[in-house]
């Protein structure tokens, strides 16, 4: 049997050992996406509030998230800030959710802001002329048009966060990456557990990317069909 086939068999045998880690990775990224969704709406509200200090705070926050590597953000949140405030030990799992969610929220808010900016201003004026209030204008007119952009973006966000999620392994969360390192420590094989982890990441991120694209096309078709 060739070396490649041998390695393929070993990788297939290692995959089941990594599933615990995969579950943790998916759980944290899923929770972080929920957090990001809520937080991105809050960021947008702050930005559109008309109060200068609030919109400046939102812009500053988004810039901070765009400029800071996720590695540094998570080190600051799990080691730096607890040391500064003398918090003692913090839960690495929830710090992971928070850090990935904070990062995702900034990017999601930018996507939503771009989508809102593309909506024709005349629609809001027309809705107001028809006597629709602010809330009903958003609910009935604007949000349904934002969904075809927002839903694929949200799906893409999960994939984006999973790609960033090996950062969790750096703060001792036993995610997919760290789980593969643990297997390496038991088997002394540096390559196969990593290959198995890479395969799982690839399948997961690839599937999410395909789903996001499918959703985008489907929603675009529905809008066009109307």
Partner 1 sequence: MIELLTDYGDDILAGLLGTLLIVGIGFLLGTLGGALLAVPLVSTSRFLRWPARSYVELIRNTPFLIQAMLLFALFGVLRLRLDPMAIGTLSVAIYTAAYMAEILRGALHSVPAGQSDAAHALGLGRLLHFRLILLPQLLPFALPAGVNLLATVAKESAFLSAVSVAELTFAGQVVIAQTFRVFEVWAIVGALYLLLVLSVLAAARQLERRMRWTGSA
Q: Minimum distance between the CB of residue 2 and partner 1, rounded to whole angstroms?
A: 16
Shortest reach from residue 191's CB to partner 1, in Å: 5
Angle at CA of residue 81, ends 78 and 82, nearest 5°: 70
Considering the complex, state which of residue 45 and residue 72 has its C-beta at the smaller distance from partner 1.
72
DSSP string, 144-209: HHHHHHHHHHHHHHHHHHHHHGGGGGGGT---HHHHHHHHHHHH--SSHHHHHHHHHHHHHHHHHH
How far apart (Å, rounded) are the C-alpha atoms in residues 32 and 37? 9
Q: What span, in angstroms and rounded, lies between the C-alpha atoms of 104 and 155?
A: 12
- Per CB under 8 A, the list member of 38, 140, 191, 223 interacting with partner 1 is 191
Q: What gap in Å lies between CA 63 and CA 189, rounded to an integer?
A: 41
Closer by beta carbon to partner 1, 54 or else 205: 205
CB of 58 to partner 1, least distance (A): 16
* Binding of partner 1 by 195 (CB under 8 A): yes
Task: Give the nearer residue to partner 1 in terms of CB position, either 12 or 81.
Answer: 81
Q: Which residues within the stretch 161-190 sit at the binding site for partner 1 (CB under 8 A)?
A: 162-167, 169-170, 177, 190
Residue 138 is a binding residue for partner 1 (CB under 8 A): no
Shortest CB 31 distance to partner 1, Å:
18
Q: Using CB under 8 A, which of 54, 209, 215, 219 touches partner 1? A: 209
CB closer to partner 1, 49 vs 63: 63
Site for partner 1 in 49-78 (CB under 8 A): 63-64, 66-73, 75-76
* Separation of alpha carbons 151 and 42, rounded Å: 17
27 binds partner 1 per the rule CB under 8 A: no
Residues that bind partner 1 (CB under 8 A): 63-64, 66-73, 75-76, 79-81, 83-84, 162-167, 169-170, 177, 190-191, 194-195, 197-198, 201-202, 205-206, 209
């Amino acid at each position: 049997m060739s070396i490649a086939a041998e390695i393929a068999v070993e990788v297939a045998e290692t995959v089941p050992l990594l599933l615990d880690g995969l579950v943790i990775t998916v759980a944290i990224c899923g929770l972080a996406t929920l957090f990001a969704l809520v937080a991105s709406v809050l960021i947008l509200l702050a930005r559109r509030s008309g109060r200068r200090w609030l919109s400046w705070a939102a812009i500053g926050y988004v810039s901070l998230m765009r400029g800071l590597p996720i590695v540094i953000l998570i080190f600051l949140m799990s080691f730096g800030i607890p040391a500064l405030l003398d918090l003692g030990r913090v839960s690495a799992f929830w710090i992971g959710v928070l850090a990935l969610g904070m990062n995702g929220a900034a990017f999601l808010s930018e996507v939503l802001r771009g989508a809102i900016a593309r909506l024709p201003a005349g629609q809001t004026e027309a809705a107001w002329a028809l006597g629709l209030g602010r809330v009903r204008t958003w609910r009935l007119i604007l949000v349904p048009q934002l969904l075809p952009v927002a839903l694929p973006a949200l799906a893409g966000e999960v994939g984006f966060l999973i790609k960033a999620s090996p950062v969790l392994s750096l703060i001792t969360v036993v995610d997919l990456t760290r789980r593969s390192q643990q297997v390496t420590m038991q088997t002394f094989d540096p390559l196969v557990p990593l290959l198995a982890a890479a395969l799982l990441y690839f399948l997961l991120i690839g599937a999410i990317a395909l789903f996001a694209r499918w959703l985008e096309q489907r929603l675009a078709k529905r809008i066009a069909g109307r």
